């Protein structure tokens, strides 16, 4: 099987992501099931500080966030993008929601991917649909994703 064009990078953090092959396939399967083609998708794991600066620079928001998604495709139904994720926000969210770090990370990965697939999260109806889609796709992930921290 050819290597899928899903890449993982660290920017000013040292986070070791396990199960990369499974996660690549899961992301690709999600994209295909939504009727899109995966061209290239980069996940960049970074610090709060790094993502805050990006949020200020590109979105004019002076707030911490867990994820920022950039759609780099000019072709309809083709995914080319960069998804920046704050490892610190993920760890904090996992504690807040009583989840594991890997579960929260995968939720945010699929959340960013869903943005590239055209789903929004502004407004109650859009947020409800986004959460339902996240839950649906998380249920298809074939790595042990724990709901409670060990």
Q: Which residue has the tokens 């099931």?
A: 33
What is the band of 149 on the pLDDT scale with cuts at 50, 70, 90? very low
Report the DSSP beta bridge partners of residue 42: 7, 82
d(CA 43, CA 83) in angstroms, rounded, equals: 5
Domain ranges within the chain, ordered by starting residue: 6-138
Residue ranges with strand state E in 30-125 = 37-46, 67-71, 78-86
d(CA 10, CA 79) in angstroms, rounded, equals: 21
3-state SS class at 118? coil
pLDDT exceeds 90 at position 1: no
pTM listed for this prediction: 0.91
What is the pLDDT averaged over residues 122-126? 95
Q: What is the pLDDT of residue 142?
A: 83
Was 7 annotated as part of a binding site? no
Please tell me the class of the 6-138 domain: alpha beta
Was 121 annotated as part of a binding site? yes
Was 61 annotated as part of a binding site? no
* Chain centroid, CA 97 distance in Å: 17
What is the band of 29 on the pLDDT scale with cuts at 50, 70, 90? very high
């Amino acid at each position: 099987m050819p290597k899928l064009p899903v890449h993982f990078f660290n920017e000013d953090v040292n986070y070791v992501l396990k199960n990369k092959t499974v996660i690549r396939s899961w992301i690709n399967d999600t994209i295909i099931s939504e009727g899109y083609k995966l061209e290239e998708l980069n996940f960049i794991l970074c610090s709060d500080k790094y993502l805050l600066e990006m949020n200020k620079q590109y979105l004019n928001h002076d707030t911490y966030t867990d994820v920022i998604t950039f759609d780099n495709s000019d072709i309809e139904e083709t995914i080319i993008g960069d998804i920046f994720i704050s490892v610190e926000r993920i760890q904090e969210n996992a504690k807040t929601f009583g989840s594991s770090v890997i579960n929260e990370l995968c939720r945010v990965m699929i959340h960013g991917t869903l943005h590239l697939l055209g789903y929004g999260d502004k407004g109650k109806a859009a947020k409800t649909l986004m959460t339902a889609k996240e839950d649906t796709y998380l249920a298809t992930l074939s790595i042990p994703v724990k709901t409670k921290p060990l």
